[in-house]
Amino acid sequence: MRLLIVEDDREAAEYLKKALREAGHMAELAKDGEEGLALALDGDFDVLVIDRMLPKRDGLSLIAELRTRGRKTPVLILSALGQVDDRVTGLRAGGDDYLAKPYAFSELLARVEALSRRTTSQSGDTLYRVGDLELDRLSHRVSRGGKEIPLQPREFRLLEYLMRHAGQVVTRTMLLENVWDYHFDPQTNVIDVHVSRLRAKIDKGFDRALLHTVRGAGYMVRDGAR
């Protein structure tokens, strides 16, 4: 994956670039809003990571300019302002996701990967399949190995989100945001409890686990055989 990081803090930018390379992604750096805009318009990037407060041209105006020029490259906004209203403003300006500083790298990586997938994935698919686990989005039915698994509506949405991002790490906050539509920090391990409940329903009694815990990051639905 090719990324552009627009961030004026040199050290933070270099750290991100290095960490992304270790995760197998290429990243270019821009140190201010103007340079970032020029590079974003020129290059072919999968995801843009843009700091909100930048010299010369602030992040939101950069995104707005990109969108006016018809560029649909997914954007992850980084900001020291993590509050509700800032997030709303950021997403309204054309950002696709918003991450407050300080963040865990695993969180950023998971979100960037989810964003890049967004442009290519078939979100129009009505049937998700991972291993022998099947989820039908139309009939709201889930089955494993041909055997139907009854799920609560919330459990269904949780699994749906995990399966849409099959093979990718999904963090706890991503789940809270996308399944419950809340952006606050629940302070407790509520999400873990929900996931372990779900796991009990879809993995228990089968010899191969599909819902994995990724240590220090989140969860992933993946067919272990591959």
Partner 1 sequence: MTALGKLIRTTAFKIIAVYLIVFAVFSAGVIAYLARHTQQLVVSQITETVDAELRSLQEQFAIGGINRLVDVVEARAQQPGSNLYLVTSYAGVSIVGNVQVSTGILDRPGWSEISYRRAEDPDVTHESRALVRVSVLPGGFRLMVGRDFEERDRLRQILAAPARWALFVIVIMGIAGALFIARRVLKRIDAMTATSDRIMAGDLTGRLPAAGTGDEFDRLANSLNAMLERIEGLMAGVKHVSDNIAHDLKTPLTRLRNHAEEALRSAKGEADYRAALEGTIEESDALIRTFDALLMITRAEAGEVRTHMADFDAAEIAESVGDLYEPLAEEKGVKLVVETEKPLPAHGNRELVGQALANLIDNAIKHGEPAGDDPGEIRVTARNAPGRVVFAVADRGPGIPEADRGRVLERFVRLEESRSRTGSGLGLSLAAAVARLHGGELKLEDNGPGLRVILAIPAQSG
Under the binding rule (CB under 8 A), the answer on residue 200 touching partner 1 is no
Nearest to 185 by CA among 195, 197, 171: 171
CB of 60 to partner 1, least distance (A): 16
Rg (CA), the chain: 19
Query: Dihedral (C-alpha) 115, 77, 38, 45: value to the nearest 10 degrees?
Result: -10
Under the binding rule (CB under 8 A), the answer on residue 83 touching partner 1 is yes
Piece of the chain touching partner 1 by CB under 8 A; list 15-23, 65-73, 166-174, 193-201: 193-201
**Which helix (H) or strand (E) segment is 173 a member of?**
helix 172-175
Among 26, 38, 41, 84, binds partner 1 (CB under 8 A): 84
- CB under 8 Å to 58, separation ≥6 — which residues? 33, 52
Q: How far apart are CA 137 and CA 33, in angstroms?
A: 41
Under the binding rule (CB under 8 A), the answer on residue 197 touching partner 1 is yes
CB of 111 to partner 1, least distance (A): 17
> Six-digit token pair at 33?
């809003």
Under the binding rule (CB under 8 A), the answer on residue 150 touching partner 1 is no
Tell me which DSSP letter residue 98 carries. E
Among 23, 104, 209, 217, binds partner 1 (CB under 8 A): 104
Among 136, 186, 205, 208, binds partner 1 (CB under 8 A): 186
Q: Looking at beta carbons only, is 106 or 121 nearer to partner 1?
A: 106
Q: Looking at beta carbons only, is 124 or 216 nearer to partner 1?
A: 216
Under the binding rule (CB under 8 A), the answer on residue 43 touching partner 1 is no
